């Protein structure tokens, strides 16, 4: 008996824009994430939009020295509406995209001939509520 296929699959990841200030990299960094989503019902597609920033301090108005705006696309197996997106999708979609950001930051800083910035692995499940609240239908 063949097992059922997954409810959704990862389609692609891309960096839309990035800014990394390689001067005066601090020892401690403060990370911030702003996820949002667009559900395209007619295509059974979900676009995760993700703004990642790293700051030198945890003050709200401080300027980030790393700012990455990216998106990841996912395709659902069956027709989907905002109301029937599985709860686990929100946290899993972020967890699938974050390693791409980690790799990008490490690679760019290594290529810049500075001490590479290696972002920690993180449990980002707390962002699922924010993503759910910031998702719209197109």
List pLDDT tens digits, range 91-114: 999 999 999 999 999 999 999 999
pLDDT for position 33: 96
Q: What are 14-53's pLDDT values in tens digits?
A: 999 999 999 888 888 999 999 999 999 999 999 999 999 9
**In whole angstroms, what is the distance from residue 22 CA to residue 89 CA?**
35
Question: What local confidence, expressed as pLDDT, does residue 25 receive?
Answer: 87
Q: Note the maximum CA span of the chain.
A: 58
Please name the CATH architecture into which domain 8-137 falls: Roll (3.10)
What is residue 18's DSSP assignment? Answer: E
Domain boundaries, the chain: 8-137
H or E segment and range at residue 107: helix 87-111
């Amino acid at each position: 008996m063949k097992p059922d296929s997954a409810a959704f699959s990862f389609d692609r990841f891309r960096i839309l824009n990035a800014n990394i200030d390689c001067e005066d990299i601090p020892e401690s960094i403060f990370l911030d994430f702003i996820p949002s989503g667009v559900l395209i019902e007619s295509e059974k597609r979900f676009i995760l939009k993700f703004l990642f920033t790293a700051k030198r301090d945890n003050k709200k108005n401080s300027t980030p020295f790393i700012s990455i705006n990216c998106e990841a696309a996912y395709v659902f197996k069956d027709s989907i509406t905002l109301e029937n997106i599985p709860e686990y999708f929100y946290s899993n979609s972020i967890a699938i995209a974050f390693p791409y950001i980690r790799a990008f930051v490490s690679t760019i800083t290594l290529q810049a001939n500075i001490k590479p910035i290696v972002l920690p692995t993180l449990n980002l499940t707390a962002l699922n509520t924010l993503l759910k609240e910031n998702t719209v239908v197109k």
